[in-house]
Structure 1
Amino acid sequence: MGLVEVTYDEHIVMITLTREEAANSLSHKLLDELSSAAEEVEQSDARAAIITGAGSKAFCAGADLKERAGMTEEQVVNTVRKIGETLRKIENLSIPTIAMINGAAYGGGLELALCCDLRLMTENAKVGLTETSLAIIPGAGGTQRLPRLIGIGQAKKMIFTGQPITADQALQIHLVEGVYPQEHLYEETVELARRISHNGPIALKMAKQSIRQGIETDLQSGLELEHENYKQTIPTRDRLEGLKAFKEKRKPEYTGK
């Protein structure tokens, strides 16, 4: 039985970690399947992706510590690198991604959520980079992505203390874009993904690329990147369809061409 489930609904894809009995932790097998899922999604016609965990207790508890307990030091280092490489595949997906944080997200679990473009969270969950409490540090991007998202001071506070924070705290520091009751989280996340997927597919990819690349450079270089990516949308049929639909006062029907 697989540990990652990939399902499609029109132009939305849902990637679900299905190790509910192990808090959806990142075993080697799950990482392999998550990597394959990312490759599959990149080749699909999906326009938005949702990543979540099975059940209601955990989004992802991070590394599989039971599996790690029997590893040599070299094996641990290689496993952490494998987690990082797998998460980069999620981060590098060309379409917008949403982490639906349906339960606890600790360590590598939060690092997975940080690789997504947007994060929605259930009100009764907690998230944290807890590694320093285990005498290690975040090793799959947490020390780099978290400060870029919430600021250096707040990131240092989370990482140095190793203490999880509540959903309300996560919203306050802009770690997540929305907090909802458990019974409404799925509906709200799918609605957000649907609103995204109604827009021009090429435009979405170019917008994501512009933001991701531009944030890592100076303003002038970022503006040049934006201009080059904007030019990619001009010769598309979708751009003409958008103008025509606006003129005719109807919803556009985009094809990604």
Structure 2
Amino acid sequence: MKKTALLLLLILPLVSQAQDNKKGISLSLKGGLTLANMYGEDVQSETDLNGSSPDNFYANNPASNRLKPGMNFGGVLDFRFSNLLSLGIGTSYIQKGDRINATQHWNNDLQDFEPVDGRIDWIQNYLTLDVPLKIYFPVKENELYLQGGPTFAKLLNSKEKGKVTVGGTDYTYENDRGANDTEPGFLLGAGYLWSMTDKPGDILIEFIWNRTVGKSYGRDLIPNPMHYYNQTFSLNVGYRFNWYKE
């Protein structure tokens, strides 16, 4: 621990001195691909598809450790106090949820289970407020940064959407599905800023892990309460406009 602290004390002044003055404000516009899922101690690897027709199909336990692809886009305003640190405030639209692994369906006429194949997604669309703290490291004229901070998400809509084969018959359905109305959480990530020397900005690429904290949706379901976290993995690209003090 003492060696790590000593190393940081030696590195941080070098980082600060290695760059031109970069105090000021930056605006990043970005977007990219997202992989999302619901995981936790009660998440099952398989579940049942309930209901008698596409009008009322629904998965018994929708949380899953399978990843669902989606997208996100938004912007961040960063207030840079020094070459080393900045504090930002941002907002984004992000697709959360998971890919539900329903493998069988109860057929009342047969009084038996029948196989289910295909794709079922729990689609959750959120608007987030993010407050990332960034630490910068110079890479020649470019920069690498690490970031972390709290997030807060507000639900826009949620649905269960499937394209499945049940007992040899094909179905497509889309039904409303509940989700947390609000979700606090945190983000961790890393990024790279490629300096555009002839323009007042940088091209950025970054990876972000976002995970919720607190109570999960479905915790009060009877007889199958679920406890899980909502998480996303995002790979983003974008452009950052800089207004640094001379």
Give the TM-score, by structure 2 length: 0.17
Give the TM-score, by structure 1 length: 0.16
Q: 1 or 2, which has the higher strand percentage? A: 2
Higher RCO, Cα 8 Å, sep 6+: 2
Q: 1 or 2, which has the higher helix percentage? A: 1
